[in-house]
Amino acid sequence: MKTLVISDVHSNIIALDAVWKKESDADAVLCVGDIVDYGIYPRECIEWMIDKSVRAVLGNHDRGVIQAYEQPEENVPLTWRIDNAQKLHSHHIEYLKHLPNQLTLDIDGNAYGMTHEYRGYDILRSMEAFRSFSNERFGQCIHKMILGHTHRQELSYLSDQDSWLNPGSVSYRRPDEDFRGAHYSVLQDGNVSLRTVPYPTKQLHQEVLKSAVCQCEKQHTHHWWAPQ
C-alpha cells in the first residue's frame, strides 16, 4: 500500500497538483494540517482534500481562518487569514471545523499517531518526551508519529521502533533553505521516503501581485514565489 503524506499546504493548489501528478498512484492520502491561510487558493485546496478522501487533522492556521470567518473584523488590514475566510463558503468552514486534532491510523500494519504539532516549534529529541507526548495526545503508547507545523522535512529515530516523521511543507520552506518546490513523504510497504517536486512559482507570484492582501502579508510569499 502506498500512502502519500502532505502537510502545511497553505492554500497552494498549484503545489498540490504538482505532487499529485507525480504520486497519483497513492492508495491513500494524509494531511497533517494547515490546509489554508498564507496562500491564494483556500477553496480549491479544501475541495482537493474532499475529492481525494484525504484523512486530515486540524492545524493552527485552519483554526485561524475559521475564527476569521465566524468573527469578521472591520476596518483592519486584509491579511491572508481574512482573505482566505472571505473566499470560503459555509460548507468549507464546516469541513475545517470537523477535522480532528489527532488521529490514530494503521499503515502497513503499524500504528501511527498523527497530529499537527508537538509544542510549537519544539522538536521531539528524547524518548522521555516522545512517550510522554504519545500518552498525552493519543492516550496510549504510540511508536510512530506524524507531525507537521515546522515546515522541516525530517525522519527522526529515537530507538529501533520509535520514530516520528515530518513530511515538510508542500508550500513554504524556512529562510535557510533554497529549494523552492514542495516537500512531502511516501509510506510504502513499511518504508518511509522523503520526497520533493518542483512546481511553477511564477504563476503564484503573479496572483500575489494582483491580490488585495496588505503588503506586509505578501512578504511571506514574495520570498518563495518571486523570481530570483
pLDDT confidence of residue 180: 86
Alpha helical stretches, state H, the chain: 13-23, 42-51, 60-70, 80-87, 90-97, 127-138, 201-210, 215-225
Asked if residue 153 is part of any domain, the answer here is no
65 vs 225, more confident: 65
Give domain status of residue 140, yes or no.
Answer: no
In the chain, % of residues over pLDDT 70: 100
Nearest to 9 by CA among 204, 223, 171: 171
- Does 21 fall in a domain? yes
In a domain, 129, yes or no: no
**Which tens digits make up the pLDDT trace of 59-75?**
999 999 999 999 999 89
Q: Give the pLDDT of residue 86.
A: 97
Q: Per-residue pLDDT for 51 more than 90?
A: yes
Report if residue 160 sits inside a domain: no
Is 178's pLDDT higher than 90? no
Residue 128 lies in a domain: no
Reference 151, options 130, 176, 187; nearest CA is 176
pLDDT per residue over 154-170, tens digit each? Answer: 999 999 999 999 999 99
Tell me how far apart the alpha carbons of residues 38 and 171 are, in angstroms, rounded to a whole number.
9
CATH code of the domain in which 43 resides:
3.60.21.10
Query: Is the pLDDT score of 223 beyond 80?
Result: no
Name the strand (E) or helix (H) holding 193.
strand 191-197
Cross-strand bridge partners of residue 193? 186
Sign of the alpha-carbon dihedral angle for 54, 179, 212, 34: positive
> Per-residue confidence at 175, pLDDT binned at 50, 70, 90?
confident
Q: Examine residue 157 and state whether it is found in any structural domain, yes or no.
A: no
Mean pLDDT (the chain) is: 95
Closest CA to 58 of 3, 105, 114, 15: 114
* Residue 189 banded pLDDT, cuts 50, 70, 90: very high
* 136 domain-assigned: no
Provide the number of structural domains found in the chain: 1
pTM value is: 0.97
Domain range holding 68? 2-101+165-225
Percentage of the chain beyond pLDDT 90 is 88
